[in-house]
Amino acid sequence: MDNELKKRILTSIVLFILATLSIVINEVIFTFSIFIVSAICFHEWIDINIPYFLKKKKKKMSIIQLVGLLYIFIFFSSSLGIYKSISPVFFIFIIFVCSSSDIGGFVFGKLIGGKKLTKISPNKTISGSIGSFIFSTIPLFIFFEQNYFNFNLNLSLKNILFCFFISISNQLGDLIISYFKRLNKVKNTGNILPGHGGLLDRIDGIIFAIPSVYILMYFQIF
């Protein structure tokens, strides 16, 4: 195992512990934590778009800033909505599904490889995407039959499809941020996290998955 991979694993473990603690301690800590995360992600979003938009498309830079601010606000509001209206544990479950999806993509992509998924992110493969879907169901086995929320997380087709929905939202978020990094010819959104780069590099999928899940819950689709 190389040093870079060790850093990624250690950083992921520390982040998961900190995220879990901020969620379960109390609402004030959670709200403050989400605000800090949102602020950092917005700052990194602006930074990665400077090379292309500020230097080449100055008139569009304000639009990029507005889009970033709007979506970060949606993420922040959705996070609070899920925390208050459903359950703090449910928020952990969503993060767990996203993390499992990322791990599945990495494992299948490395072990199987094969055809590239898209030109947007050359490292993404079709096998990796399939692995993301498969691994996204792992949390169902962890939370099996635990009625922490308003429904049981059993191994039903409905819950499996729900995990797939979270996984595809997570993957789309990853691809969108990858597109803007590629457009601006930057490798990472920052350097705050050892082995990962920026915070946005690590949670790009989560900030898309959270609002997507909240919309499902709000309109009672799931």
pLDDT tens digit sequence for 125-174: 888 899 999 999 999 888 776 665 555 677 788 889 999 999 999 999 99
pTM of the shown model: 0.89
Q: What mean pLDDT is reported for the chain?
A: 86
**What tens digit of pLDDT does each residue of 51-64 get?**
888 777 777 888 88
Range of the structural domain that residue 154 is part of: 3-218
Angle at 90 between CA 219 and CA 207, to 5 degrees: 75
Helix (H) or strand (E) holding 160: helix 157-184
Q: Is the pLDDT of residue 40 over 60?
A: yes
- pLDDT tens per residue, range 180-215: 998 888 888 888 877 668 899 889 899 999 999 999
Please give the pLDDT value at position 158.
Answer: 87
Closest CA to 174 of 207, 140, 143, 221: 207
Q: Pick from 75, 109, 107: which is nearest to 206 by CA? A: 75
